[in-house]
Amino acid sequence: MPKITFMGAGGYSFPARITLDILSFPELQDSTITLMDINKDNLDRSYRLLSGVINRLNLPTKMEATTDRRAALDGADYVIIVWQVGGIEAYTPDVEIPRKYGIDQCVGDTLGPGGVFRGVRSIPAYIDVCKDMKEVCPDALMINYANPMSINCWAVSTTGIKCVGLCHSVQGTSWMLASHLGIPYNEISYKCYGINHQAWFTEFRHKGKDVYPELRRIMFEKYPSPGPGVGLSDGAYIGKQPDLAVDHGDVYYHERVRTEIMRTFGYFHTESSHHGSEYVMWFRKNEDMIKSYIKERWDYYQICLHHDFAGQEKWIEEVKAPLTCSGEYAAYIIHSMETDTKRVIYGNVPNYGPPGSSIDSPSAHLIPNLPQNCIVELACLVDRNGIQPTSPGPLPIGCAAINRMSINVQELAVSAGLTGNKELLYQAVAVDPFAGSMLTLPRIKEMVDEMFEAEKKWLPQFK
């Protein structure tokens, strides 16, 4: 009977979704599920809703809730991170202050000024959890869902704790591409690897046949390039707030940005055109440019401000048997490790070996044209032996070049977050492709100082 602990369990989406995924497997229904959050009101709500599901379905699951981090971790077999350090209060300056300086992030949680600050304020919380894990559950697997994925997992990897980072961008993008091709999803195969939110589909096949030429033809016709004259107007684009009644499926999957990248670099990557446009320097310089590439503004910060909490509660309260597992990997990993069922998942792991290995004695160099000390996203085998990453070989050189620009930011952010060195914090934002394309170095320093002042209560490592 495994003990599965959720850190940040007071949220709505992931604690509920992953718990229901776990309970969809009969072999896992006798698990102990421990919910931990520092916000007792939110924690009590999650406990009430999820206990209600267990009681209605008459499951043998033991459900616990506590605000005591160490007690929650004691004896855990799996530790699932679903928190957002600082919550919406900290997220607000991540996006609002850079917009004052002309940097319009539609998400701001992975790279850019927002991603860097979210990372450095999250790192102390991860380090505290890792210290407790070493004492009360040293063999547990940390399953991280919190962004910035690469920065967070990189910091954890320095502690020796076993950690795999999970995202759904590989699943979502592969499904979308199969839909564009009109091919049943269960008939495709692909090779995908790189870094989180920037992994590359280097192969895409239908029943063994290479369909990449047809995929390129379809995407180039659906999403033509705006051409060389785009982006000639002046001024930063802040944009109108989104209409939250719009079907964001159509808006979210409007793929002119990713298609434009594929037109030059040859391959499609795993993050949406909205979010992916923040990681490079080619798409968000001004209003004219953004409007040429983005069909309609998709603003994750605004979506977070307008969450349908009542609707989410209603959904959980109406859950009925039989439970089915979503496309998220966490429950599949736990099931495979508990039952020895063989599966392949796409996980974020150190480029130097499996979770828990050390850069001081590396056992691998999984993607050889990316830095060995970074975090990579690639196919992993899972069974009773845990997470076993594959070694896909080098990326196409242009794809690796784009990844390395992101990795530069990640490495500096991790170093800043671990050491409390503010100079490294300036440098992390300065080398960010989007921020560096918009601001001079003095303006970047001014912006970072303003963000630091707004967020300093979540940055205890900076003395």
DSSP result, 208-223: TEE-HHHHHHHHHHHS
Residues 6+ apart with CB under 8 A from 445: 426
Select from 122, 221, 12, 198 the least CA-distant residue to 460: 122
CATH of the domain at 137: 3.90.1820.10
Residue carrying the six token digits 């020895």:
340
Please state, in angstroms and rounded to a whole number, the distance separating the CA atoms of residues 402 and 165.
Answer: 21
pLDDT at 301: 78
C-alpha to C-alpha distance for 283 and 432, rounded to whole angstroms: 14
Which residues make beta-bridge pairs with 164? 143
Q: Which two tokens stand for residue 142?
A: 């940390």
- Specify whether the CB–CB gap between 338 and 2 falls below 8 A: yes
Tokens of 231: 């982006």
Question: CA-to-CA distance for 176 and 459, rounded, in angstroms?
Answer: 39
Residue 254 lies in a domain: no
Nearest CA to 24 out of 321, 339, 383 is that of 321
Q: How many domains does the chain have?
A: 1
User: Does residue 398 belong to any structural domain of this protein?
Assistant: no
Partners of 203 in the β-ladder: 191
* Residue from 23, 166, 7, 25 nearest 73 by CA: 7
Neighbours of 412 (CB within 10 A): 24
Cα–chain-centroid distance for residue 333?
Answer: 17
Query: Which residue shows structure tokens 């320097």?
Result: 281
> Which residue, among 438, 378, 390, has the nearest Cα to 196 in the 3D structure?
378
φ, ψ of residue 370 to 5 degrees: the values are: -115, 155
Backbone angles phi, psi at 440, to 5 degrees: -75, 165
Q: Is 146 exposed, middle or buried (0-12, 13-18, 19+ CB in 10 A)?
A: buried
Boundaries of domain holding 157:
3-87+109-166+319-351
Query: What is the dihedral angle through the alpha carbons of 305, 311, 313, 314, rounded to the nearest 10 degrees?
Result: 180
- Strand partners for 174: none
Quick one: DSSP state of residue 185? G
- pLDDT value at position 378? 98
In a domain, 70, yes or no: yes
Which residue numbers are catalytic? Answer: 168
Report pLDDT for 89: 96
| pLDDT the model gives residue 251 | 64
Strand pairing partners for 372? none
- Which of 100, 94, 88 has the alpha carbon at shortest distance from 120? 94
Residue 113 lies inside a defined structural domain of this protein: yes
Phi and psi of 361, rounded to 5°? -140, 70
Identity (one letter) of the amino acid at 348? N
The reply to whether 230 falls in a domain is no
Do the Cβ atoms of 333 and 351 come closer than 8 Å? no
Whether 61 is covered by a domain: the verdict is yes
Q: Which residues of the chain have pLDDT under 50?
A: 231-248
Q: Which 8-state DSSP code applies to residue 132?
A: H
The CA-based angle 203-109-353, given to 5 degrees, is 50
The residue whose two tokens read 């950690």 is 163
Residue at 410 is within a domain: no
CB neighbour list of residue 437: distance below 8 Å, 6 or more residues apart:
281, 285
State the Cα angle at 407 between 401 and 411, rounded to 5°.
150
CA triplet 459, 148, 347: central angle to 5 degrees? 140
- Whether the bond into 389 is cis, omega within 30 of 0: no
Domain contains 201:
no
Structure tokens at 148: 């910035």
Q: Is-cis flag, bond preceding 148, omega within 30?
A: yes
